[in-house]
Structure 1
């Protein structure tokens, strides 16, 4: 598995938390409700953008926005309303081509205590915000947050139900990409890998359009979010961003610091960290999560990694490395590749509740069965039963490639792969490291942002939540983000990726008081493991 930044997935665990906390209410389709416009929206609009800031959202049923059978079920809830918001494709040319942003809301009851909207982004990049808001709103509905705020989610430009969508690989092409382990570090192997990366880039450009790819970065998502704030009728934004959603939040805070009412950033990215350091630190985080899982596993009978915690990395390598030469045949003609075994493992390491699934999947692999690991990998990639995929992986690649500086020097690519293997030895193939550059090195448009410390004069101090054993966004990144934005820091003890509104009463109490009253986290605030 070549070293590449892993998607900071949020949707799976948020959906699990929401379904565990509240039953889904189903009913007839929602009726169309007139949109609510901010008073004199043009007053808050940058010059030339008045028509976007002043638009009214035509709220209606959410069924047309559903992408999966599960979505169709939850979107039938009559409490949910959906709309499309028009934005310029290129903010430098507001009279040119436009796109639409899919928006979903669960409205708070009409009451003098209603504060406004709470806009949510689940991360990725590439995860659906409307899907997350639909599921999360079921658990928030009976809480103070649900009574005081409309819960609003949006699919960032290019993502999910927003249009135009980012499309790079079709289902069979994605399946083929997953079967290819890219473990050959020879010159011929490097050349083959880079040829495949170039082909993927060409397909992205052809199927999505270079003009779209040039404008899908976080810089433009933050601008869309300010249009959304205005169309929702909020003078200032209240925002909850998970994982990559913290990058959207910190970018918005820099572009529109005085438009922020409250901002919770959970599972933070360090805005001043270069991509190579971020990659290596993420690898170290997943190794830590693997070690925590393995220690727990060895205390249980029949652990597939044995009973010695010091040997679990080697035991995992012995289970997975044979798949490089002999992928495991599965029903329906598919095979479990080495890359898919690793990706299924990584998916289970995002949240401790998945550890029993991972243990069972590794036990099956030891017995020559691969279906459970493949299911975990399919969940990560959002593969549908019919062989199609959500656009999340395509969107992840496209957004990452315009957000981050490129690694174009093969020597630098080799050095980062070596550092990654040292940080995450459980993912080491044992075949040496490759100097192959990833797709971003060949991307057809330049980056639209660079790592830096945001300048945020006038920003209301945010609340940053960071989990001590977070595998995807290591704890120290939250410390750095809180410092950069002059915010308060809440430490959550645990091994999961993110914490707000996910079954920690301690975290939720502090988050609620911050959102409702603006109360910061107390100095050195720490919430225990759940």
Structure 2
């Protein structure tokens, strides 16, 4: 989730997954925009952290004023992609005060189980973000997950409220977003600090102007409650779910709210709900440093490595020098209006840390940069921000900021707070710490006060929950998976000793076999189970 310039809790799916999800289920749409976008937002009742005591009446049954949502039927139709069906579901804008005139329409898609054996119900998937399109990811999950699972489960996804096809949060024009992503996040003087804060304020004001009414109602708790409505609509007594990255926080939040409705939950690339936004950003900085070291170790062992061929430490020095050079003299690209700035170059490097399959592209891009060509690094940065070749951005970053700023109090309240924290960030990550610190300032100016807080989630009464952690995961450090598994009363930890972000359905037969056994038979791996 790093170089998301605005908010430092962007937890992305790996590059290999993004490449597979090229088809768009264009027929699946929850409608554009939302009602009264410029209205002044109010506080969202009930949007607190889903600790073991936060479930309240939500876990105790369905209130009368929510019955119509739980009892609705989805009118399914073909998405235009073979085997996939699309539809929409209604949810209240505000669960505390549901008003039909304010209802949100969420886009839903499914692919029916392919096997002839006994079906096990629905398996909901979410790729993370916050802000990632679950419907786009469904194409990968339905076609790329082990057939042992997809043959028994109907694969289902819903774009969370405010995301993609589900009445998306909007903030900036594409040209404004181009400018925003290029702003220097390693400011050297007061003028550059002012530029950072001005960019953040412009972003936040744009979100309020274009999506004001929605902003108070896109918390993770809200989306978790939406998932329970979908569970009921699908006819499932229990929710079966695979959440990747931020999707683990969404899944854990669901378990805290509705422990008795938990079926098989796989939380892969886990977040730690008990830590603050500040600790999250700082720990993640360290995660990206560890990931870069793994990349550098591989690179320097190859002839022609653009970061030298001597040591990991020397590679770090080469990258630092490149960043400094970009800061002073941005590189030309094929787009004369978009030179490769230090911020864009840093984002390009970070984007390749999510998946080993992107390492060759990064080596090539860094080689080009040493020769004065910035196009390849810019392309890596654009893929991170979901900017297409026509210059259009998805709403990923807008939804990301909206959810993050609502879920937790801001990491920093002022530039002075950032400056005080810089030494600890630089200690955690000499290469990326400064960028991640300044990128965590955006929520300080958010127009809606946070409604959540950091808290442990125990989900007392839930069935076994499987937490998967990767030891050198850059975006969700392994320590978070250990922490979440220990918090959950029924948590079980499965470890992948390796690189990359998340582990299931990404090439490890050991991980896949363990997760499959849990999804198909409820069998949890033995304590301490490690795959490599």
Q: For each residue in 1:478-505, what CA deviation from the matched residue of structure 2 results, as whole angstroms up to 9, or x when unmatched?
A: 0010011131110001111001111111
Q: Does 1:59 align with 2:76?
A: yes
- Which among 158, 172, 176 is matched to residue 173 of structure 1? 176
Are 1:418 and 1:433, in contact at CA under 8 Å, matched by a contact in 2?
no
Q: For each residue in 1:324-376, what CA deviation from the matched residue of structure 2 results, as whole angstroms up to 9, or x when unmatched?
A: 12111211322111111110110101011111111010000001111111111
- Which among 322, 332, 355 is matched to residue 329 of structure 1? 332
Residue in structure 1 matched with residue 67 of structure 2 by the alignment: 50
Residue in structure 2 matched with residue 523 of structure 1 by the alignment: 527
Relative to 1, partners in 2 of residues 1:434 and 1:455: Cα closer, same or farther, differing over 3 Å? closer
Range 341-350 or range 183-192, more displaced: 183-192
Q: For each residue in 1:423-482, what CA deviation from the matched residue of structure 2 results, as whole angstroms up to 9, or x when unmatched?
A: 1212367xx998797221111111121111124221112000000000100001000100
Distance in structure 1 (CA, Å) of the matches to 2:208 and 2:116 = 48
- Which among 343, 346, 352 is matched to residue 347 of structure 2? 343
Are 1:264 and 1:465, in contact at CA under 8 Å, matched by a contact in 2?
yes
- Which among 492, 495, 500 is matched to residue 496 of structure 1? 500
Residue in structure 2 matched with residue 9 of structure 1 by the alignment: 12
Relative to 1, partners in 2 of residues 1:61 and 1:12: Cα closer, same or farther, differing over 3 Å? farther
- Structure 2: 5+ residue runs without aligned partners? 29-59
| Secondary structure at 2:292 match in 1 | helix
TM superposition shift of 1:109: 3.9
Are 1:330 and 1:336, in contact at CA under 8 Å, matched by a contact in 2?
yes
Q: For each residue in 1:228-257, what CA deviation from the matched residue of structure 2 results, as whole angstroms up to 9, or x when unmatched?
A: 101111111001000100110111001100
Residue in structure 2 matched with residue 67 of structure 1 by the alignment: none
TM superposition shift of 1:3: 9.4
Aligned pairs for 1:253-402 (under 5 A) are 253-309=255-311, 310-333=313-336, 334-402=338-406
Relative to 1, partners in 2 of residues 1:436 and 1:18: Cα closer, same or farther, differing over 3 Å? closer
TM superposition shift of 1:156: 0.6
Q: Give TM-score, length-normalised by structure 2.
A: 0.88
- The higher-RCO structure (CA 8 Å, 6+ apart) is 2
Distance in structure 2 (CA, Å) of the matches to 1:104 and 1:224 = 15
Distance in structure 2 (CA, Å) of the matches to 1:121 and 1:341 = 29
| Secondary structure at 2:156 match in 1 | strand
Distance in structure 1 (CA, Å) of the matches to 2:465 and 2:282 = 27
Q: Does 1:440 align with 2:453?
A: no
| Secondary structure at 2:217 match in 1 | coil
Residue in structure 2 matched with residue 123 of structure 1 by the alignment: 128
Distance in structure 2 (CA, Å) of the matches to 1:466 and 1:220 = 26
Residue in structure 2 matched with residue 132 of structure 1 by the alignment: 137
Are 1:243 and 1:473, in contact at CA under 8 Å, matched by a contact in 2?
yes
TM superposition shift of 1:7: 1.6
- Which among 219, 225, 228 is matched to residue 227 of structure 2? 225
Distance in structure 2 (CA, Å) of the matches to 1:435 and 1:390 = 23
- Structure 1: 5+ residue runs without aligned partners? 31-42, 63-75
Residue in structure 2 matched with residue 153 of structure 1 by the alignment: 157
Distance in structure 2 (CA, Å) of the matches to 1:241 and 1:128 = 12
Distance in structure 1 (CA, Å) of the matches to 2:287 and 2:185 = 23
Are 1:184 and 1:434, in contact at CA under 8 Å, matched by a contact in 2?
no
Q: Give TM-score, length-normalised by structure 1.
A: 0.88
TM superposition shift of 1:191: 2.9
Distance in structure 2 (CA, Å) of the matches to 1:399 and 1:417 = 25
Distance in structure 1 (CA, Å) of the matches to 2:445 and 2:141 = 38
| Secondary structure at 1:240 match in 2 | strand
Aligned pairs for 1:424-463 (under 5 A) are 424-427=429-432, 438-463=441-466
Range 307-316 or range 184-193, more displaced: 184-193
Distance in structure 2 (CA, Å) of the matches to 1:434 and 1:44 = 42
